[in-house]
Structure 1
Amino acid sequence: MSNLDRMLRNRWIQLVGIVLIGVISFSLSGAIEGLPIARFLAPQAAVAQRINPDNVWRTVYQNLPDLPLENQYIRKDTGKVDPDNTLVGRFIRYHVYLKGRPPFYRLDWKMTLADYLGVNGVMEESTYPSHDTLRKNPLEGDIAAIDRLNRAQRDALVQALVDAFSPQKEGGR
């Protein structure tokens, strides 16, 4: 690498650094609020903190009452069925906590559906949500339940999840 190449590379790195610092400073100052780029730079993690992923499953089932609950599994500690440990609850926990995917975008939820349908990688029983709190690991039953959904039901599930996690815009949606 010649001296000229090194100098240009260093200048490029400096320029990128300055631009990043400017964007971060600009966004922290609140000056970008209202601009179209604001939605891409806004800290959406703050929204996720206000919306508890562990409670969103109830909203999804209210909107899609025909969705299978898959909540017949027995807890190890009590020996009783846990009615709040549902398919959608585990689906959300897998998506948000295990895979670390944002809950705001359809594509990310579709990737999680693809995981369940076996076309986007292997799901591990040893890390699946509730594997350690239920007597029987629900992974196999959850995969079968998602597989039984038709395309329209899967699309409705994805939309219900995105809607449940999306912040409501002023003046309604």
Structure 2
Amino acid sequence: MDNCSVASVIATPASLALGANTVTWTATDGSGKTQTASQIVTVTDNVKPTITAPANVNVTTNTACTATGVVLGTPATADNCSVANVTNDHPSTTYPLGSTTVIWTVTDGSGNTQTAIQIVTVTDNVKPTISCPGNLTPNVGIGTCTASVATSSPTTADNCTVTKLTWTLTGATTGASA
């Protein structure tokens, strides 16, 4: 308290950095006399960083029914202070058939985090193969005009799996699929 008027009060520094800062206050009266006092001001960053995941990825399978060498791209990140780390939860470049969700996480220097999602879709574009057993020419039995025929199954293969095998009987009046 001054018995004259206070001419100015100045705080230094005027701009504070992240973390603990010592602020020195200087009061000057009309006679030019000064007095200082200090205080600690701790600036914290509670603002989350931002992240935009790379575009979704669409790839096809290889002979092992997976996609390898998948390139995810790089997310766009920003922060009001500093970005410390960017990670995702799928460290491999191999992806299975179907859709995989990749979660990207950005962490700033103060430990604030934000996430974004990218989808990797792997489709099978390889047709299965099929090899039928040889043609059959059965003879009808005496006194009948029909033949009972047992055929073997065809051989099938695919880079993924053959999920369904059907057949159609043509040129006959009866038949069944097993």
TM-score, normalisation: structure 2: 0.19
Which structure has greater helix proportion? 1
Q: How does the TM-score come out when normalised to structure 1? A: 0.20
Q: Which has the higher contact order (CA 8 A, sep 6+)?
A: 1
More strand by share: 2
